[in-house]
Chains A and B, each alone.
Chain A
């Protein structure tokens, strides 16, 4: 298990954005996965796959600004034995959810959808571009695995993992420079959550950009003598229900944190899992069923209540509800 205690020097160090880390990883993996082809809708510079376009132009397929056709065509490419990776912004993946449903998931194709620019992390482009519904939409599709890594190293590992995995996957990357959270001994595994920091009063379960904020929140809480456990839940579906049940049992309160609507995303997945096994107080940090706006990601996190102090407050609320009906 990798904990921040073992690699404290990395916390706060800015690395590549997740999209850059993904794009570079794909280029490196191309030799090992000869069936890999990358699909783009005129946005490779944004999604990070310009690296792949440069290294493997013959396996880079341009679809123009036409995401519905691109998404369904991935089903055809997979049907003839290739491993298509569909890349565009998360908000445009929403445009092609039905194509992903019918032509990828229902047909159980070995196709991957990798979405950059999720959530408020998009920043200044504003509300229209900030996908805060994608995890909910893709999670509701049977057989679709949903992943949101937290740091560049984990992103690179996840790029390999989804290519090794046989089945449809939706994975978020990220736009902003991402902090390094994990040491080189980190091991991403689909379906496995990981305790990054131990604690006994409450567990903060986070994914994507919120993992770094959850670690900050745990630090804030420790100054008030509250011991918060932090879990990186990089796979939202299938969720690590076993780890969640253990955390609920051992800490008695849960906070979820995600750069996504609190409806249907990580929070929903955690609540569903715990309702079935170990009900306990849960507080949800994320977008409260509203749209985003223009601004820098950190400003937006502050404005909409996704930053560390809000997570810490939610933790206190969850702890306060322990033992109450």
Chain B
């Protein structure tokens, strides 16, 4: 279990020697959480025989920072109306969400390996009736950000201090609905809404640039009057600081454009569009990926043995 957000905010805002030690410990813990997220997602996709590994690898550090530090969302406050909310707008990133959730106690890591199986709550895309902590059902790109916006609007109406985070894919930004939501979020001054873009530059068939250009991306969001920050989406200290700054923004929603590497941590997947889509991993591919992600022999066996899937 990671540190609760109030502790983290305290640590981040002080900055003396004692707190920098604590911050270092938190960053190491988040790095462990991100590594676990990647390994678990690979194992789950291996057992499922299908799933999207590339985007799971690129978003793991962002998810670890959100679930492990930034958000006031824990298994024991899931019924609290003032909890923070997370919406996986890029619903195909489900394996990483289930993995990070299992790391932080929202579900058991073993059960979350039953990805995409009949009768399992861990569907190919998150479904809120199966897993309440995923907050809404996603999988059709563009809708998650609108749902998150509705949550942010409703929380403000009810005078709640809770924040709402939505993780979007870059290809997802080609959906017109995202820009409807962008206009609406700024108009309603939803400073409790934070969009995070997993900008790995690749989408299903090819590079964004070859499918439908997104650039100048930061300028687009600025033009929609959002507070824009760009960050290395694998640099945990930088991600943490960026989230804190976003939370301090008044009168405007925030967007964090996180530059990431698709397939991050698995050399044969990195920056290869073929690993975006739903793929079948062989035992050898899964082992090679887990090894690259730092798993030892025993861990690999535990993740990949048949009785797990």
A-side residues, CB < 8 A to B, are: 37, 58-59, 61-64, 66, 68-82, 84, 98-99, 102-103, 106-108
Residues in B whose Cβ lies below 8 Å from that of A82: 154, 157-158
**B71 smallest CB distance to A (angstroms):** 15
CB pair A73 B147 closer than 8 Å: yes
A54 to B220, CA, bound (A): 35
**A191 smallest CB distance to B (angstroms):** 23
17 pairs from A and B in contact (CB 8 Å cutoff) = A66-B180, A66-B184, A68-B146, A68-B177, A69-B149, A69-B177, A72-B142, A73-B146, A73-B150, A73-B184, A74-B150, A76-B146, A76-B152, A76-B154, A76-B164, A107-B127, A107-B129
CB pair A103 B177 closer than 8 Å: no
| CB-CB nearest in chain B for A37 | B157
Q: Given A64-B184, A69-B184, decide whether A76 and B129 contact each other with a Cβ distance below 8 A.
A: no
| B261 at the A interface (CB under 8 A) | no
| B176 at the A interface (CB under 8 A) | yes
Q: Given A64-B187, A103-B136, decide whether A72 and B151 contact each other with a Cβ distance below 8 A.
A: no
Interface of chain B residues 166 through 188 with chain A (CB within 8 A):
176-177, 180-181, 183-184, 187
| B140 at the A interface (CB under 8 A) | yes
| B137 at the A interface (CB under 8 A) | yes
CB pair B155 A102 closer than 8 Å: no
Residues in B whose Cβ lies below 8 Å from that of A75: 136, 143, 146-147, 150
Q: Which one of B157, B158, B160 has the greatest number of beta carbons of chain A within 10 Å?
A: B157
A87 to B177, CA, bound (A): 18
Q: Given A64-B183, A68-B177, A102-B143, decide whether A76 and B137 contact each other with a Cβ distance below 8 A.
A: no
A156 to B91, CA, bound (A): 39
A62 to B176, CA, bound (A): 18
Q: Given A79-B136, A103-B143, decide whether A84 and B180 contact each other with a Cβ distance below 8 A.
A: no
**A88 smallest CB distance to B (angstroms):** 13
CB pair B137 A107 closer than 8 Å: yes
CB pair B150 A79 closer than 8 Å: yes
A interface footprint on B125-138 (CB within 8 Å = 1, 0 otherwise)? 00111000001111
A2 to B138, CA, bound (A): 45
A234 to B125, CA, bound (A): 36
| CB-CB nearest in chain A for B175 | A68
CB pair A63 B148 closer than 8 Å: no
Q: Which one of A59, A69, A84 has the greatest number of beta carbons of chain B within 10 Å?
A: A69
CB pair A76 B151 closer than 8 Å: yes
Residues in B whose Cβ lies below 8 Å from that of A66: 177, 180, 183-184
Residues in B whose Cβ lies below 8 Å from that of A78: 150
A77 to B156, CA, bound (A): 10
Residues in A whose Cβ lies below 8 Å from that of B75: none
CB pair B184 A102 closer than 8 Å: no
B-side residues, CB < 8 A to A, are: 81, 85, 127-129, 135-140, 142-143, 146-155, 157-158, 160, 164, 176-177, 180-181, 183-184, 187
CB pair A79 B147 closer than 8 Å: yes
| Chain A interface mostly | helix
Residues in A whose Cβ lies below 8 Å from that of B177: 66, 68-69, 72, 99
A107 to B125, CA, bound (A): 12
Q: Which one of A37, A58, A63 has the greatest number of beta carbons of chain B within 10 Å?
A: A63
Residues in A whose Cβ lies below 8 Å from that of B155: 80
Q: Which one of A64, A78, A103, A108 has the greatest number of beta carbons of chain B within 10 Å?
A: A103
Residues in A whose Cβ lies below 8 Å from that of B150: 72-80, 84
CB pair B136 A68 closer than 8 Å: no
Q: Given A69-B184, A72-B143, A103-B146, decide whether A80 and B127 contact each other with a Cβ distance below 8 A.
A: no
CB pair A81 B158 closer than 8 Å: yes
**A41 smallest CB distance to B (angstroms):** 10
A75 to B147, CA, bound (A): 6
Q: Given A99-B146, A102-B143, decide whether A76 and B128 contact each other with a Cβ distance below 8 A.
A: no
Residues in A whose Cβ lies below 8 Å from that of B127: 106-107
**A196 smallest CB distance to B (angstroms):** 39
CB pair A103 B137 closer than 8 Å: yes
CB pair B187 A81 closer than 8 Å: no
10 additional contacts, CB 8 Å, given A64-B187, A78-B150, A99-B177?
A68-B146, A72-B150, A76-B152, A79-B128, A79-B136, A79-B151, A81-B81, A82-B154, A99-B146, A106-B129
A70 to B158, CA, bound (A): 19
Residues in A whose Cβ lies below 8 Å from that of B140: 98, 102
A18 to B180, CA, bound (A): 30
**B129 smallest CB distance to A (angstroms):** 6
Q: Given A37-B157, A68-B176, decide whether A76 and B139 contact each other with a Cβ distance below 8 A.
A: no
| CB-CB nearest in chain B for A82 | B154
